[in-house]
């Protein structure tokens, strides 16, 4: 009903900056969708183009079965929550929530009642008379959400919804947001630069870089099978280890060490090919005894993260003369090595990936980016 479809979307700013570059994307009805990427990747431009605050240079945007490419924001039936919430400082909470209804020419009493009702749903009943300046960050966010809900849009757009909250409140707001979206069932698109936020909230994620989409998938897909080294390095609270290697005799050779070829690459790579071996720190087991098929090195740094520790090992470079490669592994509580000790890292079977030319080695010759 209110799916969002973008075709060949390109946005070039007057200065010549290409913020979106021929982008195709489909967001399903009722989906909670994340646009994830580093700053300057075009994710906010994409959100603003859906909202109508930016006009696409070429390409089209449709919401439901309506082509909205050239419609002004007010006619697109979308609601947007801004990063700074954009609550009108001179209006009370109730007037803020009622503002979209005021624009729709609803009379004062009806819109006041509707606003109060929406506020009650979000637990804001006590705050109706206050000004935005008298609210905490979390309350301001709820008011902004209530204002967006009040006009019953077919699409919600959230720009960095959690970035203005402090760390503890952010977790609370994250759960709240996910519950709210599930209950309302409205197609919601949000922008974030925080991969953990995207993984936790979204039904599907689009990872963006340089105005293009590098991968679209569920959080599990994006986390387990990053389509390219960019996504691999971006997703995950600790970045994936990406180690340059060559294929020798059906195995992955890192210097003199031979690692098992990841399953997905069986029969897809030829001997002598230069590849990148990727494995998440969570999927490397540290051993203090020599093990076959393991990367060996010296423990350089141990970072305590509470329930586990992040260990960085200096592994000698494959080619003589290169600087040592730093490989990170997560070890459970109580198993921390001491810096300076020797260690062997064994990749867990089925959890390592192989990249060729920056893209994941896949079974068929299909494009890595699937939309």
* Residues contributing to the site for another protein (CB under 8 A): 14, 51-53, 72-75, 78-80, 82-84, 86, 88-90, 99-100, 102-104, 132-133, 151
Closest among 300, 284, 296 to 258, alpha carbons compared = 296
| Shortest CB 61 distance to another protein, Å | 14
Residue 188, exposed/middle/buried by CB under 10 A (0-12, 13-18, 19+)?
buried
Backbone φ and ψ of 208, nearest 5°? -115, 150
In which residue are the tokens 């008298």 written?
Answer: 134
3-class secondary structure, 4: strand
| Shortest CB 53 distance to another protein, Å | 5
| Shortest CB 151 distance to another protein, Å | 6
| Shortest CB 13 distance to another protein, Å | 11
Maximal C-alpha separation, the chain: 79
Left (φ > 0), alpha (ψ -120 to 50) or beta: where does 209 sit?
Answer: beta
If the CB atoms of residues 84 and 271 are measured against another protein, the closer one turns out to be 84
If the CB atoms of residues 153 and 219 are measured against another protein, the closer one turns out to be 153
DSSP conformation class of 228: B
| Shortest CB 89 distance to another protein, Å | 5
Token readout for 205 is 């994620």
Token readout for 45 is 């431009």
H/E segment holding residue 252: strand 251-254
| Shortest CB 355 distance to another protein, Å | 40
If the CB atoms of residues 90 and 109 are measured against another protein, the closer one turns out to be 90
Token readout for 250 is 């059906």
If the CB atoms of residues 133 and 367 are measured against another protein, the closer one turns out to be 133
| Shortest CB 94 distance to another protein, Å | 15
**Sheet containing 284-287: order of strands:** 284-287, 342-347, 295-304, 308-315, 325-332
If the CB atoms of residues 93 and 275 are measured against another protein, the closer one turns out to be 93
Left (φ > 0), alpha (ψ -120 to 50) or beta: where does 198 sit?
Answer: alpha
If the CB atoms of residues 133 and 267 are measured against another protein, the closer one turns out to be 133
Parallel, antiparallel or unpaired: strands 155-159 and 78-81: parallel
If the CB atoms of residues 14 and 323 are measured against another protein, the closer one turns out to be 14
């Amino acid at each position: 009903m209110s799916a969002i479809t973008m075709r060949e979307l390109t946005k070039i700013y007057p200065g010549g900056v290409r913020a979106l570059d021929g982008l195709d994307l489909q967001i399903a009805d009722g989906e909670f969708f994340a646009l994830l990427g580093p700053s300057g990747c075009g994710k906010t431009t994409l959100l603003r183009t859906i909202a109508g605050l930016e006009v696409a240079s070429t390409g089209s945007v449709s919401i439901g079965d309506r082509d909205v490419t050239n419609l002004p924001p007010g006619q697109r039936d979308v609601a947007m929550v801004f990063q700074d919430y954009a609550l009108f400082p001179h209006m009370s909470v109730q007037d803020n929530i009622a503002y979209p209804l005021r624009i729709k020419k609803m009379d004062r009493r009806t819109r006041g009642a509707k606003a109060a009702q929406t506020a009650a749903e979000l637990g804001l009943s006590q705050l109706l008379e206050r000004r935005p300046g008298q609210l905490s960050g979390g309350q301001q966010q709820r008011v902004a959400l209530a204002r967006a809900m009040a006009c019953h849009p077919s699409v919600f757009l959230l720009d960095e919804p959690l970035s203005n909250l402090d760390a503890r409140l952010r977790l609370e707001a994250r759960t709240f947001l996910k519950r709210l979206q599930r209950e309302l069932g409205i197609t919601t698109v949000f922008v974030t630069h925080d991969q953990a936020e995207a993984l936790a909230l979204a039904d599907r994620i689009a990872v963006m870089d340089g105005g293009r989409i590098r991968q679209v998938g569920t959080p599990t897909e994006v986390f387990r099978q990053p389509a390219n080294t960019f996504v691999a390095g971006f997703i995950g609270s600790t970045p994936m280890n990406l180690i340059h290697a060559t294929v020798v005799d059906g195995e992955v050779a890192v210097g003199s060490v031979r690692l098992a070829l990841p399953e997905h690459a069986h029969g897809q790579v030829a001997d002598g090919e230069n590849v990148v071996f990727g494995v998440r720190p969570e999927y490397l087991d540290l051993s203090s005894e020599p093990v076959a098929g393991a990367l060996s090195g010296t423990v350089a740094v141990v970072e305590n993260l509470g329930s586990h520790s992040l260990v960085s090992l200096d592994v000698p470079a494959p080619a003589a003369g290169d600087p040592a490669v730093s490989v990170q592994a997560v070890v459970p509580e109580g198993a921390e090595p001491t810096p300076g000790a020797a260690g062997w890292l064994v990749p867990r079977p089925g959890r390592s990936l192989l990249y060729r030319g920056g893209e994941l080695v896949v079974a068929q010759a299909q494009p890595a980016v699937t939309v």
